[in-house]
Amino acid sequence: MTVSEPAAAPPAGQRAGTPVSAAAPAGAGPEPEPGAGAAAGPRRRTRQVIPADIADPALADAGTARINWAERASQVLRQVRERFESQRPLEGLTVAACLHVTAETAVLVRTLRAGGARVFLAASNPLSTQDDTAAALATRYGIAVFARAGVDRPTYYRHIHQVLDFPVVAANDTATMRLFDNTHGTGQSVIDGILRATNTLLAGKTVVVAGYGACGRGVADRARGLGAQVIVTEIDPVRALDAVLAGLRVLPMAAAAPLGEVFITATGSRDVISAGHLAAMRDGAILANAGHFDVEIDLRALYGLAAEVNAGVRQHTDEYVLADGRRLLLLAEGRVVNLVAAEGHPAAVMDLSFGCQALVLGWLAANAAGLPPGVHDVPGAIDAEVARLELAAMRTEIDEPTQDQQEYLNSWHHGS
């Protein structure tokens, strides 16, 4: 996500999109509520042309329903939005975001609008865009959206360039994000994507998880919870040892390939499943990728090995038939399976990540002048604040350290 100040004009190239006429406040007031016409509400409104490139504005009703559903699970963002509505910390800023265009993202960008920002949004993956969500954002919520599901590669990159014409600030690497988003969110939703695409029974199956990082451990945990026998592959000895001590079997991919019935890559690297591994797999092996890019499974090698390809044997499932008749099932064309075949992370998970990003933007807006150039870490206090908001929403209380405890923890004079 990037932020630019002040918000004078859309970024270069922005005007190339299809303009969408949306009810928008005259001046910098909060965005119109869904369904609010130009005359609704006490403030004077004008019709404002918002640049956009979306599939079909007529999908806005379905998108609004989807966004409203995600809002219900977004307790953190709702609390942040209330704060933003009164404090307007993003007044005069233009925020450009490159994110999966889903209902959960919509809750975030609505929150940024409530803080006073103009928002430009491009899809971070060509297959994950929800066209109905994009339509609602562009036509009802005053967001400049550049996202259409299934666009070709040049259009995908054009959309990103149309939006990301600003200096970049990274707001993605926080403790809450790693834990809730990568581990719990990916863990559940990757399994969800595989089940939706195949309806396979995981109990008793041998599931190979490549990479035991934040995402891989979540996937491995959930697969095991459903009764699968999980094998982990790793290149990092510490992570591999962690997996062994968690009771998982660790093998090199070459040894795991003939054993696995479901393969899930979550490494952030390329060719983790390569030609030799594919050639050794069992009939019916399912291949799914949870990593960000479609490079973890060597798709060119898979295509090269196939004597026949049966695309769409189920939705998001393509069958590659090898010369000896074995069938390998590739899910979601090797792209992020949880976003393509399911709906990405549950809204409650994205609520935490996006709540953090919204607060980071508020912090940036207040502190930008004093910050030296470069990429900055998210202040630890914001991470803790997000966790506190979520705990409050869950009505979960925790202990406060006493003064004696604080002194003890901060000192090396006590104890023996």
Ligand X SMILES: NC(=O)c1ccc[n+]([C@@H]2O[C@H](COP(=O)([O-])OP(=O)(O)OC[C@H]3O[C@@H](n4cnc5c(N)ncnc54)[C@H](O)[C@@H]3O)[C@@H](O)[C@H]2O)c1
Binding site for ligand X (CB under 6 A): 182, 186, 210-216, 233-236, 239, 266-269, 272, 290-292, 336, 338
**Residue 9 · residue 175 · CB < 8 Å:** no
Shortest CB 241 distance to ligand X, Å: 11
**CA-closest candidate to residue 24, choices 142, 179, 149, 187:** 142
Task: State which amino acid sits at residue 56.
Answer: D
Shortest CB 375 distance to ligand X, Å: 17
Helix, strand, or coil (residue 116): coil
Shortest CB 402 distance to ligand X, Å: 36
Shortest CB 271 distance to ligand X, Å: 8
Of 20 and 297, the one with the shorter C-beta distance to ligand X is 297
**Residue 126 · residue 334 · CB < 8 Å:** no
Shortest CB 133 distance to ligand X, Å: 17
Please identify the residue of the shown chain whose CB is closest to the bound ligand X. 213
DSSP code, position 297: B
What distances in angstroms separate CA 58 from CA 54, 134, 145, 257, 327, one per listed residue? 10, 11, 15, 46, 40
Shortest CB 289 distance to ligand X, Å: 8
Backbone angles phi, psi at 315, to 5 degrees: -60, 130
Query: CA triplet 119, 378, 179: central angle to 5 degrees?
Result: 95
Would you call the peptide bond into 34 cis, given omega within 30 degrees of 0 as the criterion? no
Shortest CB 212 distance to ligand X, Å: 5
Of 117 and 220, the one with the shorter C-beta distance to ligand X is 220
Of 142 and 291, the one with the shorter C-beta distance to ligand X is 291
Cα separation, 208 vs 250, in Å, equals: 9
Of 211 and 362, the one with the shorter C-beta distance to ligand X is 211
Of 79 and 182, the one with the shorter C-beta distance to ligand X is 182
Cα separation, 212 vs 315, in Å, equals: 28
Shortest CB 134 distance to ligand X, Å: 19
Of 2 and 182, the one with the shorter C-beta distance to ligand X is 182
- For residue 167 the two structure tokens come to 């200096």
Of 272 and 359, the one with the shorter C-beta distance to ligand X is 272
Of 73 and 90, the one with the shorter C-beta distance to ligand X is 73
Q: Is 334 left (phi over 0), alpha (psi -120 to 50) or beta?
A: left
Cα separation, 194 vs 88, in Å, equals: 41
Task: State which amino acid sits at residue 226.
Answer: L
Residue 146, H or E segment: strand 144-146
